[in-house]
Structures are given as structure tokens and as C-alpha cells.
């Protein structure tokens, strides 16, 4: 991933730490934020399908992708907030997945 991503993840963690502290309650909120973001993905996908006849089609695939990116970024900040290096954790996950593909 681009260096801008990792720098922004670290900066976001620092900004949140300064604003809200870094205790367990705050870490819990950062982890739970993933659930909120995932809900926004679900809502956008439902809107893309037009599943709610009262609302019709309200979102595009690009909207869904943007919400998925929010989930990814939120997860990276949560990993950093655990005191771990998000880049290393994601690289380890990718290596594990890759080993299963061959």
C-alpha cells in the first residue's frame, strides 16, 4: 500500500489518542466502530440493489466501495490502537492467505 495510507493511519491514531485518550474504553469504541462502518456497507449495498421499494435505488457500486474502504481504514486504525504495526499485521495476514492459495 501507498506510504500515504500508513502515515495517515498513524496520524489518525495519534489524533484520536489526543482527543479521546487511549484507554480500554476508547479502544473498545474504535473496535466497535468497525461494526458501524460495516452496517454502512450493508445499507449502501441494499441501496444499490434497490431492495427497499419505498426508497428505490439510492447508491452505486462506487458508494459501496467507498464504504468498504472506510471499513478497511477503520480496521487499520484499530490495529494501530492496539499498539501493533498495522502494516506488519496486514502483511502477515496476506502471507497466510497467499500460502493457502498455492
The pTM of this model reads 0.93
pLDDT of residue 1: 55
Q: What is the pLDDT of residue 102?
A: 82
pLDDT at position 22: 97
pLDDT given for residue 5 in this prediction: 96
Cell of 53: 421499494
Which residue is associated with the grid cell 431492495? 51
pLDDT of residue 11: 98
**pLDDT of res. 2:** 87
| Contact (CB, 8 A) for 26 and 20 | yes
What's the average pLDDT block by block, 10 residues per block, for the chain (102 residues)? 91 98 98 98 98 96 98 98 97 97 89
User: In b/e form, how buried is each residue of 29-55, taking b as 16+ CB within 10 angstroms?
Assistant: ebeebbeebbebbebbbebbeeeeeee
Domains present along the chain, CATH in parentheses? 3-101 (1.10.287)
Amino acid at each position: 500500500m501507498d506510504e500515504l495510507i500508513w502515515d495517515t493511519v498513524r496520524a489518525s491514531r495519534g489524533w484520536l489518542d489526543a482527543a479521546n485518550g487511549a484507554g480500554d474504553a476508547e479502544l473498545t469504541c474504535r473496535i466497535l466502530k468497525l461494526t458501524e462502518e460495516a452496517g454502512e456497507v450493508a445499507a449502501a449495498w441494499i441501496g444499490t440493489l434497490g431492495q427497499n421499494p419505498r426508497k428505490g435505488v439510492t447508491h452505486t457500486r462506487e458508494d459501496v466501495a467507498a464504504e468498504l474502504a472506510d471499513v478497511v481504514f477503520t480496521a487499520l486504525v484499530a490495529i494501530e490502537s492496539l499498539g501493533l504495526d498495522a502494516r506488519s499485521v496486514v502483511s502477515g495476514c496476506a502471507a497466510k492467505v497467499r500460502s493457502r492459495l498455492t
